[in-house]
Amino acid sequence: MAFTIKINGIPHEVDVDGDTPLLWVLRDMLGMTGTKFGCGAALCGACTVHVDGAPTRSCVTPIDSIGDSAITTIEAIGETPQGKALQQAWLELEVVQCGYCQSGQIMSAAALLASTPKPTDGDIDDAMSGNVCRCGTYQRIRAAIHRAAA
Ligand code: FES
Ligand code: FES
């Protein structure tokens, strides 16, 4: 079945089954590989994108649930004020180790700053608790979010 989905402001037509996960469409059909596959079960956060600004696990989001919603991915988050500030803070504080989880981390952090421009440690822990980092960069992630908020 044909679907037209708006990703980073650009409409894309794809012909897939309606239960195809958005993550599959992004990576395998559109070549947008910045969004990562981790668990495939909404448990790790590596696949986080924004759907109408809300952080969403694309591995469990079927394409037929998206409709006219606007999708934002890591490829375009740097064009938002929050994403730009976060990416700069990430670089300044050298947050990344292997990097695999980090696009999902930044997408969750960007949604947090859009709704809560000056988050507390508790706000950050709540917003980021679904994003797993096997390299243990949590302390630097928290510091970078505070820096971006400043
Ligand atoms: S790959 Fe989607 S939450 Fe882990
Ligand atoms: S930086 Fe390696 S999993 Fe997070």
Q: Give yes or no for a contact between 119 and 149, defined as CB atoms under 8 angstroms apart.
A: yes
- The verdict on the CB of residue 141 being under 6 Å from ligand 2 is no
Cα(56)–Cα(77) distance, integer angstroms: 14
For residue 9, report the distance from its CA to the centre of ligand 1, in Å: 23
Ligand nearest to the CA of 132: 2
pLDDT tens for 56-102 read: 999 999 999 999 999 999 999 999 999 999 999 999 999 999 999 99
For residue 24, report the distance from its CA to the centre of ligand 1, in Å: 12
pLDDT tens for 1-59 read: 999 999 999 999 999 999 999 999 999 999 999 999 999 999 999 999 999 999 999 99
Do 110 and 137 share a domain, yes or no? yes
Taking residues 121-132, report their average pLDDT: 97
Helix (H, G, I), strand (E, B) or coil at 129: coil
Amino acid 19 reads: D
What is the total count of domains within the chain?
2
Residue that finishes a domain, picked among 17, 46, 76: 76
DSSP 37: P
